[in-house]
Amino acid sequence: MQIVTAGILEKNGKIFIAKRKKGKCLKDKWEFPGGKLENGETPEECLKRELFEELNIQIKVEKYFCSSFFKCGEVEIELQAYLVSYLSGEIKIVDHDDFKWIKPSEMLDFEFVEPDIVIVNKLLQEKYNIQKTY
């Protein structure tokens, strides 16, 4: 099973989401950015590396939030989501087609990749006390 990390980045009351590139598994849908765990790496190290490589930003991993499980083709994946905070850097997307800062209540207006829907629903209900979900 492949482990993938995702960062839930919040700044000034808004949440960062990114649109997957065309040609990728789950293309054209929105996600919380992150990436694949490499050998010898902790999920926290992976998340710091991936957000620097993909977005040019430094982050602090605050705490584990939740996991979801899915298949992309024949590969079984566990997506581990973490709450993160922004430290420095100017966002430059490398591995996505677009990004947005959105209010928590706007999350339902975007088509998220299936594994991130678990994260969206948990965020809405438990962190923001919004009862509407996917």
- Tell me the C-alpha to C-alpha distance, in Å, between residue 106 and each of 3, 23, 61, 95: 28, 26, 24, 23
What's the pLDDT score for residue 123? Answer: 96
Closest CA to 117 of 25, 46, 13, 30: 30
- Give me the residue spans of the domains in the chain: 2-127
What's the pLDDT score for residue 73? Answer: 81
CB proximity list for 73: less than 8 A, separation 6 or greater: 25
For the whole model, what pTM was predicted? Answer: 0.93
User: Any idea which residue has 């948990």 for tokens?
Assistant: 122
Task: List the beta strands (DSSP E) in the chain.
Answer: 2-11, 14-20, 30-31, 34-36, 58-72, 75-88, 96-102
CA 74/CA 130 separation, integer angstroms: 35
Output the average pLDDT for the chain: 94
The model's pLDDT over 35-92, given as tens digits with 9 standing for 90+, comes to 999 999 999 999 999 999 999 999 999 999 999 998 878 889 999 999 999 999 999 9
Architecture of domain 2-127: Alpha-Beta Complex (3.90)
